[in-house]
Chains A and B, each alone.
Chain A
Amino acid sequence: MIATEVQARVPVASKLVRAHTYAAFVGLLLSALFGLAVSVKFHVPEFLTNHAALTWGRLRYDHTQGILYAWLGNAFIAFIYFAVPYLTRRPVTSERLGWVMFFVYNFVAVLGGWSLVLAGVLQPLEWAEFPLIVAAVIELCLALMIVQFCIPFLKCGASELYVSGWYLLGGLTFTFLAYPLGNIVPHELPGAMGAAFSGLWIHDAVGVFITPLAVAVEYFVITAVTRKPIYSHFYSMVGFWLLFLVYPLNGIHHYIYSSLPMAAQRVSEAASIYQGIDVILVVTNLLLSIGLATEGSVLRDVPMRFVWTSIVLYLIVSIQGSVQAVMTFNSFIHFTDWVIGHSHLAMIGFASFAAMGGLGHIWQQMPGVRHSRRAMAWSYWLLVIGLGLMVLDLTAAGLVQATLWQRHIPWIDSVRASRPYWIFRTIDGVVLLAGFVVFGLSFVTGPRNSEGFLGLTLDTKDELPRDHKAQYWFTTAYAATFGAGVVFFFLSFLALGVYPAFRLRESIHKTTPVGAQLTLTAAEQHGGHLYAVDGCAYCHSMQVRFTPADVWRFGTPTQAWETQQQYPQMWGTRRIGPDLAREAGKRPVDWQLVHLYDPRYIVPDSVMPSYPWLFNGAPDRPTQDARDLVAFLNTLGRAQAALTPPLPRATYLLPVAASANDTEEGRQVFVANCAGCHGEKADGRSIGGQSLRPVAFNLAEFKLSDDLIWRVLQTGVPGSSMPSWNDLPSSDFRAVADYVAMVAQAGELTPDQRYASDEVLMESGRRIFETHCTRCHGEEAAGDGPDGLEMLPRPANFHEMMPSYQAAAEILRDGVPGSGMPAWPLLTPAEVQAVTFYIRSFYSAHPDGTAQPAASASMKMEGMK
């Protein structure tokens, strides 16, 4: 216990307040820089991309964990050190313990956590990304905080405890209970069962850690600045208990329309709405406390201005949260940037503004420190403007994304549409960062406060509280309600954690198909680890929801039994790229590898980071890590795919005719969607296209029938990287088909290029073809030879495609890497020309309008072997 020379003095541990305040600023600036880097990567994907430590996923992890622990954690601890003596008329338990806690919290938990995450030691759990060892340290710190701050409360009369004290006690105690749920339990319970507990912690991190401490600051600063009692302490306590009853019940609303039991989803939906009602009560009480006491004049006090703004935004973000949890609206808005706007409004607008108000108020009282009111006022406006623009921007982006996801268009269209919003988000982020910097400067510039004693000076020793025994405290009415609060917590644990887990266990037992391939090989498990380490789950969700838009786009909804080997679950709460729950077999391995090496090689508008450290300098030289990662991707949905045929997909009718008017539109669609692999000239010579196996098709050197173009666009080419483009809007689909038909050409030979007459070329070509080609391409060159039936991709059917002489010569010289077509280096140029002439004769849409006649055996064979 802190020694006091004068018995009636209760000091604030001001050095610890200062230390945690400075640590909070460092944490805030670094976390904001992490966030800004993450934001820049959305529109400059190659920014900081050459090192694994600086990849998007890891910076994103450090951004959110830094805001939670480095910034808000330190800021609230500083406030608690300041507030506890005023709330309890007692000092905190031990200043020495405080310093131990400060070093462990900041240098082991925060710095250690950040470093380990950048080094790839982490867990892919939302708001719980620091690795387990760091989670254990944080849990230890939470225990130490209870010892440091709660013992003074135990020794003071509970009946006199101000509402801020209740929020501090509740926040610390409940966080200590909730923290292991999100950090440890998901490692023990797989997939859907683990998701139920993860959902609890996602919301408890905000609901029972951040929110109570922020509201504690608000109640404290209001009464200290107005110098008047709050409007109603009774209603403040009603709000307190409702918060702890209802908030933990919200958790599963992050997984609505998932395979979690519907009853649990309904609980979370109803609790979220009730939570909004509670917040209306709390905010009304807070605003009445300000308004009634001062008629608004206290807003000249800058910290109070921060607190007032925090209260207003608390109301807005809570109502927004309640609306988001309504299932019909959730089906529309979930996974979009709307939710990111919501979380920034909560963590900056509500929590950070409250913390800033609290720290600003403390600094006004702190002896001997500099304090600039003007800088703080500037920071307020910078932050309000930056936050306002960011939330509006992300909300609009979310609405755009949600609307596009409902439409039957390629996923990448939503990425393209989001780009302006993401650029604007970075600009907003710079404004916010400037606001944070100026706020920090306001603590080290300006006039210096006078020296003096910070704390309580009681008139007599008799005013010091008596050392009530713990038993006495526990028999008070407040103690009973505190016990009830703990019961509330376990209620949520049972309702949204244990109950769904038991229901899921039963469901999984009944529904798991016999022989379902769920276990992963060691390589696949390693790939899953890499997937987690680089934050893939934070852009690609891994759950197809039971919504029409999801089912249309991704296929069969994710069933609980499919997830029983996911340790921990990586369902995700955001989609920047498409969902990957049905990724198995959707893309060839070489496509995945090229896409990992540099996504823009084959998807020019992709914002996905590159992963060059998984390769030895080229996409066709992957390391074992890259192979393992792709192997893992091909396990996602594998068991389901083996059991159920793919859902029928929409088909388009054949085009009536190519239209010249569509050429430009078709070219634009081609460049946007096809040029990544086929090249802008459609010659298949892009870097990405040449890295694929088989290499991208040279459209510019083949004449293709309309039927073939249409069919390939609809169904893709099995065994190659060519996907179905069925999700293109029908107008785009038609335009690109027409464009391909236009660019696909296979010119004729000029007379001086010919080695022989048509008859000779035909006969010679026939004999070569029958000798070397029919086993795969078939006697009629329809791609149906006996050896070709098992090949993927299937051998070419020359009735619907006609190569140019140049293209055929290249293929015969080099083969088609990645397909069954070998090189035929021993054929002479004349033989190549002959066999090309022959196979061109089968093209049903030949320029002459008819198939060429079969060659006769009597034709001469000049120049041939």
Chain B
Amino acid sequence: MTAYILGAATLILLVLILWRRSSPEFRRRSEQPKFQILANLGLGSRSSSRTKQPPEDTQPITRREHDEKRES
């Protein structure tokens, strides 16, 4: 039974990984939340009034910049 459970989980995982590699739309949707949280934290397109500013050596990054960086 262990083999079935873990084998099925591994199979599903492989299918998802292959699907993600072949589908830009799936890739975009699966990565969407990490940009949303930046926006919610006021580090993306939306503003925030968190009382203390983040360290100067780190700058907010937009999704486009991030994608460009990953592509390069």
A interface residues (Cβ-Cβ under 8 A, vs B): 86-87, 89, 159-164, 220, 223-230, 232-234, 237-238, 242, 245-246, 249, 263, 266-267, 270-271, 274, 293-294, 297-298, 300-301, 364-367, 449-459, 463, 491, 495
Which of A228, A238, A263 contacts B13 (CB under 8 A)? A238
Bound CA–CA A347/B42 (angstroms): 32
B11 near A: Cβ within 8 Å? no
Which of B29, B32, B36, B55 contacts A225 (CB under 8 A)? B55
Q: Are B43 and A266 in contact (CB under 8 A)?
A: no
A-B contact pairs, 6 of them (CB 8 A): A160-B32, A227-B60, A229-B31, A233-B32, A271-B2, A452-B51
Q: Are A455 and B54 in contact (CB under 8 A)?
A: no
Nearest-neighbour CB distance to chain B for A381, whole angstroms, equals: 21
Q: Are A160 and B33 in contact (CB under 8 A)?
A: yes
Nearest-neighbour CB distance to chain A for B46, whole angstroms, equals: 6
Nearest-neighbour CB distance to chain A for B15, whole angstroms, equals: 12
Q: Are B54 and A452 in contact (CB under 8 A)?
A: no
Q: Are A223 and B52 in contact (CB under 8 A)?
A: no
Q: Are B40 and A294 in contact (CB under 8 A)?
A: no
A227-B60, A227-B61, A234-B27 known; A249-B51 Cβ under 8 A: no
Residue of A nearest to B36 (CB): A160
Q: Are B51 and A87 in contact (CB under 8 A)?
A: no
Residue of B nearest to A292 (CB): B69
What are the 9 closest A-B residue pairs judged by CB atoms, nearest first? A229-B34, A162-B37, A234-B30, A452-B51, A233-B34, A162-B33, A160-B36, A267-B2, A270-B2
Q: Are A300 and B55 in contact (CB under 8 A)?
A: yes
- Cβ contacts under 8 Å, A227 to chain B: 38, 41, 43, 54, 58-61
Nearest-neighbour CB distance to chain B for A242, whole angstroms, equals: 7
B interface residues (Cβ-Cβ under 8 A, vs A): 1-3, 5-6, 9, 13, 16, 20, 27, 29-38, 40-43, 46-52, 54-55, 57-61, 63, 66
Q: Are B33 and A161 in contact (CB under 8 A)?
A: yes
Number of A-B contacts (CB under 8 A): 135
Bound CA–CA A89/B55 (angstroms): 24
Bound CA–CA A366/B52 (angstroms): 8
- Cβ contacts under 8 Å, A453 to chain B: 49, 51
- Cβ contacts under 8 Å, A367 to chain B: 51
A162-B37, A242-B9, A297-B58 known; A452-B49 Cβ under 8 A: yes
Q: Are B51 and A495 in contact (CB under 8 A)?
A: no
Q: Are A364 and B52 in contact (CB under 8 A)?
A: yes
Q: Are B16 and A238 in contact (CB under 8 A)?
A: yes
- Cβ contacts under 8 Å, B9 to chain A: 242, 245-246
- Cβ contacts under 8 Å, B37 to chain A: 86-87, 162, 164, 220, 223, 229
Residue of A nearest to B33 (CB): A162
- Cβ contacts under 8 Å, B36 to chain A: 160, 162
- Cβ contacts under 8 Å, A162 to chain B: 33-34, 36-37, 40
Residue of B nearest to A85 (CB): B40
Q: Are B50 and A293 in contact (CB under 8 A)?
A: no
- Cβ contacts under 8 Å, B46 to chain A: 456, 458-459, 463
- Beyond contacts A162-B36, A227-B54: 10 other A-B pairs, Cβ-Cβ < 8 A, are A86-B40, A161-B33, A228-B66, A233-B30, A271-B6, A366-B51, A450-B52, A452-B49, A456-B48, A495-B5
Q: Are B57 and A297 in contact (CB under 8 A)?
A: yes
Nearest-neighbour CB distance to chain B for A184, whole angstroms, equals: 26
- Cβ contacts under 8 Å, B59 to chain A: 227
Bound CA–CA A293/B43 (angstroms): 14
Which of B47, B50, B52, B63 contacts A459 (CB under 8 A)? B47
Bound CA–CA A160/B6 (angstroms): 28
Bound CA–CA A232/B55 (angstroms): 23
Nearest-neighbour CB distance to chain A for B35, whole angstroms, equals: 6
- Cβ contacts under 8 Å, A454 to chain B: 50-51
A86-B41, A294-B57 known; A230-B34 Cβ under 8 A: yes
A89-B40, A159-B29, A234-B27 known; A226-B58 Cβ under 8 A: yes
A454-B51, A456-B48 known; A232-B41 Cβ under 8 A: no
Q: Are B2 and A298 in contact (CB under 8 A)?
A: no
Which of B9, B33, B40, B47: most chain A CB closer than 10 A? B33
Residue of B nearest to A223 (CB): B37
- Cβ contacts under 8 Å, A364 to chain B: 52
A228-B66, A238-B13, A293-B58 known; A266-B2 Cβ under 8 A: yes
- Cβ contacts under 8 Å, A449 to chain B: 51-52
Q: Are B31 and A232 in contact (CB under 8 A)?
A: yes
Bound CA–CA A223/B54 (angstroms): 11
Nearest-neighbour CB distance to chain A for B20, whole angstroms, equals: 6
Nearest-neighbour CB distance to chain B for A515, whole angstroms, equals: 37
A160-B36, A227-B38, A233-B33 known; A365-B50 Cβ under 8 A: yes
Q: Are B40 and A298 in contact (CB under 8 A)?
A: no
Bound CA–CA A631/B68 (angstroms): 75
Residue of B nearest to A89 (CB): B40
Nearest-neighbour CB distance to chain B for A372, whole angstroms, equals: 14
Q: Are B49 and A455 in contact (CB under 8 A)?
A: yes
Which of B27, B41, B58, B63 contacts A298 (CB under 8 A)? B58
Which of A228, A297, A450: most chain B CB closer than 10 A? A228
Which of B46, B59, B60: most chain A CB closer than 10 A? B46
Nearest-neighbour CB distance to chain A for B70, whole angstroms, equals: 9
- Cβ contacts under 8 Å, A457 to chain B: 42, 47-49
Residue of B nearest to A263 (CB): B1
- Cβ contacts under 8 Å, B35 to chain A: 229
Residue of A nearest to B40 (CB): A86
Bound CA–CA A192/B70 (angstroms): 53
A159-B29, A162-B36, A238-B16 known; A456-B42 Cβ under 8 A: yes
- Cβ contacts under 8 Å, A274 to chain B: 6
- Cβ contacts under 8 Å, B48 to chain A: 456-457
Nearest-neighbour CB distance to chain A for B37, whole angstroms, equals: 4
- Cβ contacts under 8 Å, B29 to chain A: 159
Which of A229, A266, A459: most chain B CB closer than 10 A? A229
Bound CA–CA A187/B15 (angstroms): 43
